[in-house]
A and B are shown apart, each in its own frame.
Chain A
Amino acid sequence: QKEVEQDPGPLSVPEGAIVSLNCTYSNSAFQYFMWYRQYSRKGPELLMYTYSSGNKEDGRFTAQVDKSSKYISLFIRDSQPSDSATYLCAGRGRGSNYKLTFGKGTLLTVNP
């Protein structure tokens, strides 16, 4: 079992929809969780990160972590065509473990 599992999609939604992107993880040592956005033929761009369980909001984006079920979510409100990209989730343990473990990414298309 991969440490971070992510449905590859593709996911296609109309403009203005609420998008839910999800990952599951198996490593109980993960404390930090990150979401990256990757446009076609570009490098991944950090959207936001959360520590342990709970929610974090940044504009139209909300990241949610449920450590009891090992579930990570990213919600996008009022989705825009410019949100069309691949979204990658990642987890990391605490302390000197510098390495991130990534999911394979979900391809999202927001149609105008």
Chain B
Amino acid sequence: NAGVTQTPKFQVLKTGQSMTLQCAQDMNHNSMYWYRQDPGMGLRLIYYSASEGTTDKGEVPNGYNVSRLNKREFSLRLESAAPSQTSVYFCASSDGGGAYEQYFGPGTRLTVT
């Protein structure tokens, strides 16, 4: 099992460019999440998908869009990148059973210049 995978690992964008971050999980989990992590700010939830076919905003959704492509894949799109979106992005997934503990991918380091 690869767990949660993310592509790309690193990306540099110019202001105004767009890109899509890809996430896939092979644990048959229903729920998937996108976070950003910034120094001094901790992990902040951008969007989540409780189940295939649903998406909801998290704490910091502005400037982002998401697509739950199928049960395995959840993508995050930046339509017009801004320097404030320079961050490390993590995808996570979880399943039921009570705790809904989340399992994280290795992250994508994004720099917007």
Contact = CB atoms under 8 A, between A and B. Distances in A.
A92 B106 contact: no
17 contacts: A32-B98, A32-B101, A41-B107, A42-B106, A43-B104, A44-B104, A45-B104, A46-B102, A88-B43, A92-B100, A96-B50, A98-B31, A98-B48, A98-B100, A99-B58, A100-B100, A104-B41
Interface string B25-67: 0000001010000001111010010100000001000000000
3 closest A-B pairs by beta carbon, nearest first, are A104-B42, A43-B104, A102-B43
B42 A43 contact: no
A49 interface: yes
Contacts of B43: 44, 88, 102
Nearest to A4: B42
Interface of B: 4, 31, 33, 40-43, 45, 48, 50, 58, 90, 94, 98-107
Given A34-B99, A34-B102, 4 more contacts: A32-B100, A36-B104, A46-B102, A88-B43
Interface string A33-55: 01010000111111001010000
Contacts of A34: 99, 101-102
Contacts of A102: 42-43
A99 B45 contact: yes
B99 A32 contact: yes
Interface size class of A (residues with CB under 8 A): 20 to 34
Contacts of A104: 40-42
A85 to B, nearest CB: 13
A51 B105 contact: no
Nearest to B42: A104
Given A98-B48, A104-B40, A46 B90 contact: no
A103 B31 contact: no
A43 B105 contact: yes
B6 to A, nearest CB: 8
Contact of A46 (B42, B45, B101, B106): B101
